[in-house]
Structure 1
């Protein structure tokens, strides 16, 4: 399980750097906002273009995609039902809460874990594509509509989905996967895309130091609910659907379980910061799920007989 620990250690080191830079007053909240905007509008779309252009299409549309999508639907449905009964959050906060409960860190943590633990980076592709082309566009359309103060029509929502930089990057990358992109064209895009993950993680570290302490951005019961759904319900849903509905066995089932048990992605913090919705609630959920996902993934490996 060296790959699991290596992936988490890498993330922790960069978040710690952001924390120290804020502690030493080299960076502040304005830098957090700047880094988040840079990641949202420029670096993340560039990274998605590169990642998706190098992903084999046949690796995406597999039984793993069915299990991944079903686990998201089940988890989000449970979260929305519980949130409506318990907290009655506004629409934007409900969207961020849903993402905290079901949006896995398939990029900067999922890719190294896929490489070192699962042994095949393409096993992360179905979840990555589903999140980028389904979950993210829907969430962005709702958040955009709420930010503008009116309920958008279907046509308006589709236009906003395409114009959203995150979704646009994923779509361009998917189209690029069908052709051979010249290296001189791809290299500068890759160079810019390499800023995405460090920018998000440093911004997250700044928030941990300069924002309210973890636990003060929202009730612990709300955070605990989202984290429990993320680390317990979603993996169980993925395994159940994978085993019973689509016939996943052995390593494929193990891959579905590990993917679903990944913590909430730092992207959610970037989206919350961009739309100013449930910012510290998202931060606390990411922090808690990242720490607690380590023993969860190790337990899955033990239960499914992985070394």
Structure 2
């Protein structure tokens, strides 16, 4: 019961900040570009600083905990399940099917994952392995498939450059490097006069992320394309129900995890779809409404299932 109360308190904290962003957008505080500015600042500046600050103090064994295997195989499983269901029922074209698979497996490790890991799981570093896995593995694979299915060719140069365009990945990798060097030399190699401003900027990441998300909810009109509704709700079910179940089965029966590790694996598996999927859809001009609606529905339903997980496992 204590874990459920903690989860509800965490959702309350997150919900209040999101509501503040929604109200600010409704009252036009900050003007029409406020959400864009907050998103850009959090994505390119504050969140990389936060990940660097967190990971620089983490032991490398904790950063690459075996739980990353649970995240990887549960994500791959739901992606494959969606492709099978598409083949049988939805018959989406290859680019749209790729967006659907990404909608099913791609975790929102930044906008929602960081706040949930911070306020519900109590350790924001838990999202780092997922973030690295997604940006270094799932993104290049997804973009390669979209290249082939939309252009008929692969731009190896563009695929190889993708990690260089991901500030969160860069901040995470730099933090991991500093963690290794700290362990090697036995002291912190980054002096406080440099580390302190990085920490200050990083502290702004989660509030900016949540307020920007709240702003994005103002004026949203989902499910305008009726033909995609079955696939959209299938994506949400795969993301918020099937993936946590698979994560639990893998974590409990295969990896032998118990306690907080098991709880963390299942909660993180229930995160909604990452907003990056919409960016990829927009870049290739395929499945944009499908991506947007899948993200929105999974984001709206995710807290319900995370609360259920907290009641059962915490």
TM bucket (normalised to shorter chain) is 0.7 to 0.9
Per-residue Cα deviation, 1:256-282 (whole angstroms, up to 9, x for no partner)? 222212333456567667877655544
Tell whether 2:50 aligns with 1:40: no
Query: Is the CA contact 1:234–1:260 (under 8 Å) kept in the aligned structure 2?
Result: yes
Alignment CA distance shift 1:258-1:172 (3 Å): same
Query: Is the CA contact 2:99–2:287 (under 8 Å) kept in the aligned structure 1?
Result: yes
- Matching residue of 1:100: 103
- Matching residue of 1:300: 309
Paired with 2:42 and 2:125, the residues of 1 have a C-alpha distance of 24
- Matching residue of 1:8: 11
Alignment CA distance shift 1:161-1:267 (3 Å): closer
- Matching residue of 1:215: 223
Deviation at 1:80, TM superposition (A): 3.3
Alignment CA distance shift 1:192-1:54 (3 Å): same
Correspondent of 1:240 among 233, 246, 249? 249
RMSD across aligned positions (CA) = 3.6
Alignment CA distance shift 1:207-1:77 (3 Å): same
Paired with 1:102 and 1:79, the residues of 2 have a C-alpha distance of 9
Alignment CA distance shift 1:22-1:98 (3 Å): same
Paired with 2:239 and 2:63, the residues of 1 have a C-alpha distance of 22
Deviation at 1:230, TM superposition (A): 0.9
Q: Secondary structure at the match of 1:178?
A: helix
- Matching residue of 1:224: 233
Query: Is the CA contact 2:135–2:166 (under 8 Å) kept in the aligned structure 1?
Result: no
Tell whether 2:255 aligns with 1:252: no
Q: Secondary structure at the match of 2:273?
A: coil
Alignment CA distance shift 1:160-1:73 (3 Å): same
Alignment CA distance shift 1:281-1:176 (3 Å): farther
Deviation at 1:58, TM superposition (A): 0.4
Q: Secondary structure at the match of 1:177?
A: helix
Deviation at 1:122, TM superposition (A): 5.3
- Matching residue of 2:186: none
Correspondent of 2:130 among 105, 109, 127? 127
Any unmatched runs of 5+ in structure 2? 182-188
Per-residue Cα deviation, 1:152-201 (whole angstroms, up to 9, x for no partner)? 44454223323433332332222222233222223333333344434443
Larger Rg: 2
Query: Is the CA contact 2:111–2:209 (under 8 Å) kept in the aligned structure 1?
Result: no
Correspondent of 2:211 among 171, 181, 202? 202
Query: Is the CA contact 2:128–2:172 (under 8 Å) kept in the aligned structure 1?
Result: no
Correspondent of 1:159 among 161, 166, 171? 161
What is the TM-score normalised by the length of structure 2? 0.76
Alignment CA distance shift 1:156-1:289 (3 Å): closer
Query: Is the CA contact 1:75–1:230 (under 8 Å) kept in the aligned structure 2?
Result: yes
Aligned residues: 302
